Structure 1
Amino acid sequence: MRILVANDDGIFSPGIKALAFALRELGEVRVVAPDVEQSGVGHSITFRRPLRFKHTAAAGFGEIPAYRVDGTPADCVVLGSQLLGRPDVVVSGINIGVNMGLDLTHSGTVAAALEGTSLGIPSIAFSLDASGEELRFEEAARYAVPLVRWVLEHGLPPKTLLNVNFPNRTPLGLRITRLSTHRYEDQVVARTDPEGRPYYWLAGQPTAEMEEGTDFWAVQQGYISVTPITLDYTDYAFAALLEGRLTLEGLCSG
Structure 2
Amino acid sequence: MPTNRPLILITNDDSVFAPGLHLLIDYVKSMGDVIAIAPDAPHSGQSSAISVNKVLQINRHEDYNGAAIYSVNGTPVDCVKLGMHAVLDRRPDFILSGINHGSNSGNSIIYSGTMGAVLEGCMLGIPSIGYSFHSHNQAYSLEACREVVEKITSRVMEQGLPSDICLNVNIPKCSKVEGIKVTRAARGFWTEEYA
Please say whether Structure 1 and Structure 2 have the same fold, judged by a TM-score greater than 0.5.
yes
**CA offset at residue 47 of structure 1?**
2.7
Distance in 2, Cα, partners of 1:171 & 1:132: 18
**CA offset at residue 121 of structure 1?**
0.5
| Structure 1 residue ranges without an equivalent (≥5) | 186-203, 208-254
**Amino acid aligned to 1:67:** Y
Shift of the 45–134 alpha-carbon distance from structure 1 to 2, 3 Å rule, reads: closer
Q: Deviations over 1:162-201 (max 9, x none)?
A: 000001211110101111234224xxxxxxxxxxxxxxxx
Specify the structure having the higher radius of gyration (Cα).
Answer: 1
**CA offset at residue 206 of structure 1?**
7.6
- 1:26 corresponds, among 31, 34, 48, to 31
Question: Helix, strand or coil for the counterpart of 2:107?
Answer: helix
Partner of residue 193, structure 2: 205
Shift of the 131–92 alpha-carbon distance from structure 1 to 2, 3 Å rule, reads: closer
**Amino acid aligned to 1:32:** I
Partner of residue 139, structure 1: 144
Task: Identify the structure with the greater strand proportion.
Answer: 1
RMSD over aligned Cα atoms: 1.9
Partner of residue 80, structure 1: 83
Query: With structure 2 as the length reference, what TM-score do the two structures score?
Result: 0.89
Contact kept? 2:47, 2:111, Cα under 8 Å: yes
| Structure 2 residue ranges without an equivalent (≥5) | 1-5
Query: With structure 1 as the length reference, what TM-score do the two structures score?
Result: 0.69
After superposition, where does 1:50-199 map in structure 2 within 5 Å? 50-57=55-62, 61-82=64-85, 83-84=87-88, 85-130=90-135, 135-169=140-174, 170-185=176-191
- The one of the two structures with greater contact order (alpha-carbon pairs below 8 A, sep at least 6) is 2
Distance in 1, Cα, partners of 2:133 & 2:182: 16
Distance in 2, Cα, partners of 1:77 & 1:132: 26
Shift of the 131–66 alpha-carbon distance from structure 1 to 2, 3 Å rule, reads: closer
**CA offset at residue 156 of structure 1?**
1.0
Distance in 2, Cα, partners of 1:91 & 1:78: 14
How many residues matched?
Answer: 187
Contact kept? 1:100, 1:182, Cα under 8 Å: no
